[in-house]
Chains A and B, each alone.
Chain A
Amino acid sequence: MSVKIALAGNPNSGKTTMFNDLTGSNQRVGNWPGVTVEKKEGRLKGRSDVIIQDLPGIYSLSPYTLEEVVARSYLVGEKPDAIINIVDGTNIERNLYLTTQLIELGIPTVVAVNMIDVVRKNGDVIDLKKLGSALGCEVVATSALKGEGSKEAAARAAALAEEKRGLSAPSVFEGSVEHAIAHIEESIEGLVEPRFLRWYAIKLFERDGKVMEELHLDRALADHIEEHIADCEEELDDDSESIITNQRYAYIAKVVSQAVKKKHTGRKMSVSDKIDRIVTNRILALPIFVAIMAGVYYISIGSVGDWTVGFMNDTLFGEWITGGLTALFEGWNVAPWLSGLVIEGIVGGVGAVLGFVPQMLILFLLLSILEDVGYMARVAFIMDRIFRKFGLSGKSFIPMLIGSGCGVPGVMASRTIENERDRRMTIMTTCFIPCGAKLPIIGMISGAFFDNAWWVATSAYFVGVAAIIVSGIILKKLRAFAGDAAPFVMELPPYHSPAASNVLRATWERGWSFIKRAGTLILLSAVVIWFLQAFGVTSAGFGMVEDNNDSLLAAIGGAVAFIFAPLGFGIWQATVGVVGGLVAKENLVTIMAVCYGFAEVGETGEEIWGILNTTFTPIAGYSFMVFNLLCAPCFAAMGAIKREMNSPKWTVGAIGYMCGFAYLVSLMIYQFGGLITGELSFGLGTVAAIVVLAGLLYMLLRKNRYSEYGGELSVNAAKKDVKVNA
């Protein structure tokens, strides 16, 4: 018989560290059924019969965020044998709020007072015995980061689970409330499982919608319960939910005053406060942020990263593997089609992807460090002011930052946004930011048409940011996204030095989502595309073709190329490039080179710059770049969008929006640009572009029918006036 132990605790309580400490590499990561909240499960090190279930970080068991719903339905529905409740010892009062709810569930619970090393360093003393007897459960001091006490907590929980002894919750509430709860317990006895009786009674007292729905109480019973609640509310002159909340805190305050001795009472500036004074300072915040991010990108994309890409593409794949394989195949007398498939198709295609791996890992390593240290939460706070102006919250900024490396973990990072509307909007716009794999496209266009001018890459990021801003403003005016961004509230964790294990794990999880694609989709597509461009029908019948223009790929690409004619690149090679870009953006350059008959090209396709320059005009080239930056991301990122949206309708909507937006923007660039440079004359295309521009301006400038912001803003202004006058 295996034992199931659930790990529950507030965000930032060190839950992830403890989970990693307890299970080591023995983990399975998945999703909770039906939602996109991450589910992590693992076996206890040294005890394969004990399963540790990591629950999402939550502040309470009220059912209002996705995480809370998941945690709650797991605890009540799947009935783990025991709970380890991780409590941040340095913030014990707030953390015990969840504890008082957990112990009502009647499941054997061990409270792990975590970060005990910091508590000791502060000179505070926590009396574990007193705390334990007041809460009615076992208490263990732990420091997950230092590996102290975690094992003991797990062993105690496992022992409790095997004993199967229920837990008797203390009386947290005052007389009249306990009285009403007892009455409710009495009236629902038999309707619910005995161990959850108290929990259900308290939830009914709070008028918890989900529980009322679940129990299907008949009218008479519901009225009877309502009577008790109303009586109690009248007596205490407050609503039932606030009564419960306040009395929980009152009980906790009492327990803490007995069990915790603080060395410093009263407020003292902590190190975190001092850092925040500077880092979130109204004048310095943005410059510091820009400097840090510039440093991150300089290291990961500029100096070190650039060197690794050069090494991987030119030396490892370009010389060693390709050279080695060519020599090997010649020695074996391998058929030319097979050696072509392996070297040009597979090594060329997959190698182009793997070449970016070290660069990506460096970027994710640096971002994970910023996250673990606690700076990312401040970034959300700093950016909130700016993002709110166009309908997004500061929390949307982190997915975009990660998306500048790879869109897949970027889209996945949108999970931390509680509000569904905001989350969907973030998912739809995150991929507008040029990811690492789009850099070769930018490099190709900038090299082929603009003499590698610096402004091309800069303008690509600018286009991405502008696309997000414009989309934010436009989407907010649609009914599906109506309403202001959810209010911004967020706990800022204390700064601490990064833990190597956490940082490396996060880096690897993000990097892996990028690498995984190379072995599957990209490998397959590389084979298919190589075949399509190498074979074709000529006067001699079906077979390998000398001239690429006779290939199957040319026929297919040529048939749909007309779609892109209004954007300036209606030729088959460009069309195939766009499709190849959907497989992987970094593939686009290689595939276009293949279309022009080059087997092996450099990262930005220097070899085909000359050809591009004679087939396209610079405006068409720029339009081609913008289209590929903004349109549907690669398949892997589309897969991530599908998982996170968790709805076919929204997935199609998001990808359709991106493609449509990209098409219209490129149309305007080519048509207006062409008119200015004189390469196009006024025609149907110009009219279409004018219509699009007018539509866009209308969407941007029209009044938002769904916004209450106008009203709210004037209230703010009025208040400010009062302050000035006073």
Chain B
Amino acid sequence: MLPLSMAGTGEALSIFKVSGKDEVRRHLAELGLVVGQEVTVVNRLGENLILQVKDSRIALDGRLANRIMVT
């Protein structure tokens, strides 16, 4: 288990836990980032990353990526 911010590019990962404030967690859930969801890091730009979630691409910053634990 490791935070998404450290996961390798191109690997299929599964979300294990999303921590942080309710509001942010809810927004992430609306975008499809929920426990059990499969995600892939498509690209990185500094600390920010682009994820593939379901059939969409979501950009998020490093601090948020730290809050998402994946396996």
Contact = CB atoms under 8 A, between A and B. Distances in A.
Given A91-B55, A489-B60, A280 B27 contact: no
Contacts of B23: 64
A267 interface: yes
B58 A489 contact: yes
B50 A492 contact: yes
B42 A276 contact: yes
Contact of A94 (B5, B46, B54): B54
A619 B43 CA distance: 48
Contacts of B60: 487-490
A94 B29 contact: no
B14 interface: no
Given A267-B52, A716-B66, A388 B31 contact: no
Contacts of A38: none
B50 A276 contact: yes
A280 B32 contact: no
A483 to B, nearest CB: 12
B31 A489 contact: yes
B45 A490 contact: no
Contacts of A715: 66
Given A94-B32, A246-B34, A719-B66, A276 B57 contact: yes
Determine which residue in A246, A381, A716 has the highest number of CB atoms from chain B within 10 A of its CB, and name it.
Answer: A381
The size class of the interface chain B forms with chain A is 35 or more
B3 to A, nearest CB: 7
A490 B55 CA distance: 14
Contacts of A280: 43, 45, 50
Contacts of B52: 267, 273
B24 A487 contact: yes
B55 A92 contact: yes
B9 to A, nearest CB: 10
A719 B61 contact: no
Interface string A516-542: 000000000000000000000000000
Contact of A277 (B22, B28, B43, B53): B43
Given A91-B56, A282-B44, A245 B29 contact: yes
A382 interface: yes
Contacts of B6: 719, 723
B30 A487 contact: no
A492 B57 contact: yes
Contact of B45 (A91, A242, A381): A381
A93 interface: yes
B54 A91 contact: yes
Contacts of B57: 272-273, 276, 491-492, 494
Contacts, number: 120
B55 A385 contact: no
B35 interface: yes
Nearest to A266: B12
A612 B39 CA distance: 63
Given A59-B30, A280-B45, A487-B24, A93 B54 contact: yes
A488 B48 contact: yes
B48 A381 contact: yes
A489 B27 CA distance: 9
B65 to A, nearest CB: 10
B49 to A, nearest CB: 9
Interface in A678-726: 712, 715-716, 719, 723
A93 B32 contact: yes
A339 interface: no
Given A94-B56, A245-B29, A487 B44 contact: no
Contact of A489 (B22, B28, B42): B28
B43 A276 contact: yes
A273 B42 contact: yes
A85 B31 CA distance: 17
B58 A490 contact: yes
A267 B53 CA distance: 11
Contacts of A650: none
B59 A490 contact: yes
Contacts of A27: none
Given A97-B30, A280-B50, A712-B63, A285 B56 contact: no
A59 to B, nearest CB: 4
A92 B56 CA distance: 10
Interface in A56-83: 59-60, 62, 64
A491 B30 CA distance: 11
Nearest to B42: A273
Given A62-B26, A92-B55, A489-B28, 13 more contacts: A59-B27, A59-B30, A241-B22, A245-B29, A246-B35, A272-B57, A280-B45, A381-B48, A385-B46, A487-B63, A488-B59, A489-B64, A719-B5
9 contacts: A242-B35, A267-B40, A276-B43, A381-B45, A384-B59, A488-B48, A489-B61, A492-B57, A716-B66
Interface of B: 3, 5-6, 12, 22-24, 26-32, 34-37, 40, 42-48, 50, 52-64, 66
Interface of A: 59-60, 62, 64, 90-94, 97, 241-242, 245-246, 249, 267, 272-273, 276-277, 280-282, 285, 377, 380-382, 384-385, 388, 487-492, 494, 712, 715-716, 719, 723
